[in-house]
Every structure is written in structure tokens, then in C-alpha cells.
Amino acid sequence: MHIHLGFLTPLLWIAVAFVAIQLRHRRKMERMRLGISSPRERLHDIGERLRDTGERMRDRYATPQAESDLPSADRRELEALRERVKVLERIATEDRKPLELAREIEALRDR
């Protein structure tokens, strides 16, 4: 006498799925009780931090103000920096001896 139990296979899979859901739920509740975030929440937090960093960088390096909008002290400082850059470019591009170059650099530092 052979009993065919093929009708129990779907019930078995339903029971396995139910147990898996219960275990996942218990794990989630335990993580919440211990204050441990889930991997999905951690990825979400990382994404938010990256988005905030990107926005800060965009704001920081946005199009600079027009020179005419700057206060006069800032304009003078900008012109002084441009002059220093010109001098440094001249020193770097001219064919000079190392000792003479060192003297010029020291003279610029003393300004």
C-alpha cells in the first residue's frame, strides 16, 4: 500500500515561508531593541551624508562673486595676490641660479 502525499508539498513550502518571515521579524525586533540599524538604514544614512557633502561642496565652490561685488579690502587683497602670483610665475619660468632664486623667494617672504 503506497500513500501519495504530493498534496502536502505546497503546505510544506508555505510553512517554510512562514517560519522564515517569523525569524526575519524576530531578528529585526531584536536589532531595534538593541539600537542596531539595519543594513538598508545604514546605506540610507550613508547616501544622505554623501548628498549633504555634495551640496556643501557645490555651495562652497559655486560661481565666485564678481570682482565689483567684493568689498574694497578684499579687492585690494585680490590684486596683491595676483601680483604675487605674477612674480612667482616669473621666478619659476626664468632661467636663474638656485642661490639667486632662494634670495628672491626670501625677499618676497619679507614683504
pLDDT tens digit string along 69-110? 777 888 888 888 888 888 887 777 676 666 777 777 778 777
Domain that holds residue 38: 18-62
Are 38 and 70 part of one and the same domain? no
List C-alpha distances in Å: 64 to 2, 7, 58, 75.
Answer: 86, 74, 12, 13
* Structure-block grid coordinates of residue 41: 538604514
The pTM of this model reads: 0.35
| Residue 93 forms part of a structural domain | yes
Residues 6+ apart with CB under 8 A from 78: 67, 70
Q: Does 10 fall in a domain?
A: no
Q: Report the alpha-carbon distance of residue 83 to residue 89 in Å, rounded.
A: 10
The structural domain count of the chain equals 2
Q: Assess whether 23 and 50 both reside in one domain.
A: yes
